[in-house]
Structure formats: C-alpha cells, structure tokens
Amino acid sequence: MPIPPLPTPAERFAIVLRWLSHVVASRGVLGLLAAPVVALLLGRVRDINQKFARLAARLAAGTYRPRRAAARRKPAAPNPRRKNPLPQTCGWLLTLVPEAVGYRAQLEHLLREPDTVALLEAAPSAMARVLRPLCWALRLKPPPILAPPRRARPPAPERDAAASRAATPPPSRPRSQSPASPARRRRSAQWPRGGHGPPRTA
C-alpha cells in the first residue's frame, strides 16, 4: 500500500485556519460574539488563507515574480481612509477569541518546520504581507525572515550641528611676540640698553 504524501505547508496552514474559523463561529453561536464581528473575523481568516494558498501555488509552479517597488504618487485629493471596525492592538484576536491561543501554538510550530521555512525564504516580502497581520492578531512573534527591513533614521539637524561644533577645533589666538622675536631684536639694536627710548623734542 503506497504511503500517502505528506500535506504541503499550504494544506497544513489551511487546516489550522479552518479550525480557527470553527472556534470563531462557535463563539457566535453561543452568543459570546456579535454576528457582525463573527462575519468580519471569518472574512479576515478566509482572506489570509486564500492569499497564502495562491502565493504557495505560484511558488510551486514557478510563476511567482517579486513585486517591483515603484514611486508612489501623491493623489490630488486622497480619499478618507475607512476606519477598521476590528481592534488594532497586538493580540486583539486573543482578546475576542481566547480559545485561539491553541491555534497560535500550532501556527508557531508550522512556521518553524523546514519545508515552511523554505517556502518563506522563496518570497519573504510577499509572505510577510500575508502572515504578519495574523501573527500580530495572535501575539505571535514572526520568524526573522518575515521581519520588516530596518529603516535608516535621518539624523536630527540639532544633533548634527552639535556634532559639527564638537568636531571643529576652536580658532587659535594670535601669539604675542616673544622677546626673541625679530621685531624686538631690531628695536633693542637701535637703542642702548640703559636708555629709555628716543629723546623727546621740545
């Protein structure tokens, strides 16, 4: 009897999110969550699952192409951003669905498996856009491969001015002529040592 192939990371990911959806729906049935909130949560979980599945399929077929960074044009009249009805704090899904903590552990284990790590390394930026919101909702630290790149902080103008002032040496003061300077030697050669300068005219 042939051994069935092991499920792919996308299939295991779908299983975790499917059970997570069951937990969300059960809280709605018990009256612990309002129906509109349940619908929003189920839609969010389904959207993440579909995006991950499509991205994994493109990577397996070799048709994935990284997104090119293009300069954003500022719109003349930007549309007002719709307010997200769901919470935005870290771990907000655990606040609404405490039973989701068990599926957070399963997701953490899945993201550490070698085949999943290889899938993430094939498209880290695209995978980060899909998985980071889910990790944030579950208060799960994402793998380092999904961490956003660090942006160089522009130096503060006041800090730069202070640094430049500290690096610039103070201007040197002109030194007074020493007794052995050429000018002093010329004056001493013109008048005797015991004299007090040239005679005054009446």
Instruction: Give the chain's domain count.
Output: 1
- Write down the pTM of the prediction: 0.68
Residue 123 lies inside a defined structural domain of this protein: yes
Per residue in 136-177, pLDDT (tens digit) is 999 999 999 988 766 656 555 555 555 666 666 666 665 555
* Whole-number Å distance between alpha carbons of 74 and 151: 21
**Domain range for 43:** 9-64+86-140
d(CA 96, CA 89): 12
Rounded to 10°, the helix 124-137/35-61 angle is: 160
Instruction: Give CA–CA dist 71/60, Å, rounded.
Output: 30
On the CB side of 156, CA atoms within 13 Å amount to 4
Q: Is residue 45 a part of any domain in this protein?
A: yes
Residue 100, class by beta-carbon neighbours within 10 Å (0-12 exposed, 13-18 middle, 19+ buried)? buried
- Residue 69 covered by a domain: no
Q: Tell me if 190 is assigned to some domain.
A: no
Q: Could you read off the pLDDT of 169-194 as tens digits, one per residue?
A: 666 665 555 555 555 555 555 545 55
